[in-house]
Structure 1
Amino acid sequence: MRFSLLFAFVIVVGIYSYNFSEASEPVCSKFAYEEQLLEKMIRTEIKVETMVNEINKTEENVISTLGDIKQTVADLTGNITYEMLQKSDEIKRREESFKKLFEETRTNLTSDMGAKSEELTQLQGSFKNLFDETRTNLTSDMEAKRDELTQLQEKLERPPIAFHAHYLTDLVLDTTDEIIIFTKIMINEGTGYDTSTGIFTAPIGGLYQFIVHTCTYATKFSYIGLVLEDKVIAADSNYDKIYNTCSTVGAIVRVRSGEKVWVKATASNSNYKLLEDAYRKNTFSGVLVNN
């Protein structure tokens, strides 16, 4: 189709050129005219053939070039498709590797977290036991310290316990177990000693020291004892044929709160008699040493 159109175009151009040449040339014989026309037609045909050949060559070149382009495109498409397939396979392999690595990592992390959780639970249990033990010990220590502080506070708040009594209105020891009553008080801290009965009643329990000092006429006897709740805890006897004599007896003893202590005659006779004057005093004293 393209060749037919091109050939028609060439004929039209030739006729136009011929008419133009015929108009411009001078009028000659019919033979010369036909010769010239034939010559021009031959030249035109040669030109047309040359143009056709060039067009054919151009068409072949174009077709060849198109074929090369198609082949190149096909090659490029094949290469791109192959590379895309390779990339796709590589992506799939990497994706599988990543999934596998992810699963392994998750499994390891889960296992490690389980182990760490168990270890943490054990540590929490150990810490709780240690904390409970420490709290118990601290509580016990605090209770002990509080009790100790309470006792110390009570000791500080308690008045000192001490008494010192003297002066006897009855000096004759003529009755066994007779309580010797010291009727005058020099000191009676805690008001434990009773001058009417001669008995000391411990206001609080603790460790006490008691001392009894008695004097006896010459040629007379005296037998006395220091008594805690009807039990003699210290005793003394005194006698001299020529001189008036004095003696001292005492004891350190633990006394519970409310228990009683006194001095009594452990033996009796109308000849047993104590002495008291400006130079000699009979005394009974006691003091709380430690509670």
Structure 2
Amino acid sequence: MVKLRTDIQNDLDELTQKKEDFDKHINTTMSELQDHAKSQHPTVLFRARNVADYTLSTTDQTIIFNEVLYNDGGGYNSATGTFTAPVKGTYLFTINLCPARNKSIFYAIMVKEEVVANGHTHVVSGFLCVSDDAIVQLDVNDVVYVNSIDEPRFKTRFEYDEQLLEKMIRMEFEHELWEKRINETIGNMVKLRTDIQNDLNELTRNKEDFDKHINATISELQDHAKSQHPTVLFRARNVVDYSLSTTDQTIIFNEVLYNVGGGYNSPTGTFTAPVKGSYLFTVNLCPAKNKSIFYAIMVKEDVVVNGHTYNVSGWLCVSGEAIVQLDANDVVYVKSMYTSDVLLESGLLNSFDPKANSFSGVFLY
């Protein structure tokens, strides 16, 4: 009997040690989950300059930038001038082009063979550079490049389906050895069988409570990871009023390409921040031939960025960007600051023309 009691105590001590080892395993797993969450935001960036062909004599020719300054993530191919997305997510692309003196450039940023941003300089006296950007959602292996174009490429408005990344983490615990040891111990017990069964039931209840706690902790970690970096972005183009005859008139971009997070209001032309954080806003405006545009990006009724073209002969687009910190419900919009402002609606490439006027924003962190 003394030996049997000693064996039972040894088994209970071993079960207690197993539980302690299990606790350590859970802590290690939680640490790995946190490290995994950090790894979901890899660094992907590149910059290239100089072009392989400065004449661009072929229609819809890809502009190949062949001098690579950096290419983290390996997405850019200097031989073809294309970028292939290594991971799924939201990307920002920027471009700067400088045509030869008294020459023109019509360009488009292409994503999956569709135009997502375009611009031009046309019959401008002297030297002039043009820049643009595009914020897009890409799947793995989607291709992005820049084309030289001479006529519209638009077919329909672009719609990108938002797909939220959900990660289901399943943990399986093996209890075979425990059950075998308990069954062997019960087989050797006669008088103390009831006490052993009570201990086993208590351990089972503790395990169930522990499992519930772990599942709740994993769910909280997943919710916390999602709340740390919500997806908020929008892009709109075309304007309601091209004449802009009123001083301090809000420029309303009424064709919404995408509006993830629901912050942009197309009837008013305003963006209302759904969450607190840092945001990037960009605007591209193309005045009518020989006309002017004076604009400002407004945040909480204060000018954070402004620019203009004035008294320029020919066709010219102007762009600007602002990185700002917003509280929830702060309002951002673009306004015209001069009564003689007139935006390009037609006359250059017809339906291609108004789509060059655009307003974009994205939540950074």
TM-score, length-scaled by structure 2: 0.37
Largest Rg, 1 or 2: 1
- Compare the two structures and name the one with the higher strand fraction: 2
Larger helix fraction of residues: 1
Relative CO higher for 1 or 2, CA cutoff 8 Å, sep ≥ 6? 1
